[in-house]
Amino acid sequence: MLKKMKSSTAVLGAPGCSIKSQRGISLIGLFLVGLIAVALIALGFRVVPAVVEYIAIERAVQKIKNEGSTVRELQAAFDRHATIDDITSISSRDLDITKEGDRIVISYAYAKKVPITDTVALVIDFSGTTRDRQRKNIP
């Protein structure tokens, strides 16, 4: 029996098997990582609808830029798209419609407030335009 004990303690005391050399995450560490992951997922669930609406607005503006030639026609076209896509953050009156040369440029900007808790909110500023971006020529 004594030999059996010695052999079992020899296995526990083997190099690389001591308690001090074991690595990993503790239960408290696992709990904290899980808590942070859940908080980020909950924040994502609140932010995703605002981003989806921004994408819908961008698509609507890109579609209407060729649907009319006057401000009223473009606003009416945006109102149709806004009704179909359930766009509520911006209306056709919020669009800045100008003409640059022979092209119609539609710009917009708005802020979306996303409530996180009763006293904390995330404010996201969205903006877009149909104007082509100028590329800098780098020699």
DSSP 69-99: SSHHHHHHHHHHHHHHHT--S--GGG-EEEE
Beta bridge partners of 107: 96, 129
Note whether residue 134 is domain-resident: no
Q: Is the pTM value of this prediction over 0.75?
A: no
- 82 near 60, Cβ under 8 Å? yes
Asked whether the predicted pLDDT for residue 5 surpasses 70, the reply is no
Note whether residue 98 is domain-resident: yes
Note whether residue 52 is domain-resident: yes
- What range defines the domain where residue 118 resides? 28-129
The band of 8, judged by pLDDT with boundaries at 50, 70 and 90, is very low
Note whether residue 44 is domain-resident: yes
Note whether residue 84 is domain-resident: yes
**Mean local confidence (pLDDT), 2-10:** 50
Structure tokens at 70: 């006057």
Helix, strand, coil distribution of the chain in percent, nearest 5: 50, 20, 30
| Domain count within the chain | 1
The band of 22, judged by pLDDT with boundaries at 50, 70 and 90, is low
Note whether residue 10 is domain-resident: no
